[in-house]
């Protein structure tokens, strides 16, 4: 039993820490795919460096959390194979910027949603798509049971309500090193900025920029 316990502990440690390199490698690959997919052929070459291309059809975009100095390419889907190395968009929820609840799941591992419990009211979560930058402000957190699916309803926790706001919800396991709860972070859209590939930074809003 002691040996089994040690094996479980070591496996948990690997899941949290040891696969960071694999996650980073896959994120780098997805970022390259994303950058190549929606390059605009109608934009004339300029001497200035262009911003990165926007995401491809099978990729939703990028999420930025400046407070944590993190960004991720987001895939479309939340099956285990979808979110093994990336956050995934719940396909039945709204798209970025839309009225409703753009909802994204991610593992509670070092390279993904490890620190989202640190987000407080007013903190920025940014989303980049082909056409726009979306700036959301965090307004709340919840800790719920894994079967509390209403947190990703169009109006969180009110499945029968009609949405009037553009929201964003992040979901992950809780507590760290376990999965018997879910940590939920909710945010509301406060600004939309057109994405301009002719600019060096594609016109990213200042509040979405990372430190690096």
* pLDDT tens sequence across 140-175: 999 999 999 999 999 999 999 999 999 999 999 999
Domains of the chain: 2-40+48-208 (2.40.260.10)
Q: pLDDT, tens digit, for every residue of 171-200?
A: 999 998 888 999 999 999 999 999 998 888
Burial class (CB in 10 A: 0-12, 13-18, 19+), 188: middle
- 49/194: higher pLDDT: 194
Q: Is 76 left (phi over 0), alpha (psi -120 to 50) or beta?
A: beta
pLDDT of residue 82: 87
pLDDT at 167: 98
Evaluate if residue 9 carries a pLDDT over 80.
no
- What per-residue confidence (pLDDT) applies to 94? 97
pLDDT digits (tens, 9 = 90+) for 52-96: 555 655 789 999 999 999 999 999 999 888 888 889 999 999 999
């Amino acid at each position: 039993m002691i040996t089994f316990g040690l094996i479980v502990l070591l496996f948990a440690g690997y899941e949290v820490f040891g696969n960071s390199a694999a996650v980073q490698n896959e994120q780098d690959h997805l970022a390259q795919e994303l950058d190549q997919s929606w390059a605009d052929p109608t934009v004339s070459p300029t001497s200035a460096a262009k911003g990165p291309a926007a995401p491809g059809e099978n990729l939703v975009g990028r999420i930025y959390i400046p407070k944590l100095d993190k960004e991720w390419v987001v895939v479309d889907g939340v099956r285990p194979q979808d979110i093994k190395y990336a956050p995934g968009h719940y396909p039945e929820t709204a798209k970025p910027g839309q009225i409703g609840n753009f909802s994204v799941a991610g593992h509670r591992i070092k390279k993904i949603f490890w620190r989202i419990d640190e987000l407080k009211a007013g903190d920025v979560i940014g989303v980049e798509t082909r056409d726009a930058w979306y700036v959301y402000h965090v307004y709340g957190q919840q800790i719920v049971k894994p079967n509390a699916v209403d947190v990703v309803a169009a109006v969180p926790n009110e499945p029968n309500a009609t949405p009037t706001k553009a929201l964003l919800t992040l979901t992950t396991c809780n507590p760290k090193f376990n999965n018997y709860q879910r940590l939920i972070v909710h945010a509301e859209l406060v600004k939309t900025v057109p994405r301009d590939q002719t600019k060096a930074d594609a016109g990213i809003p200042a509040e979405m920029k990372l430190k690096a």
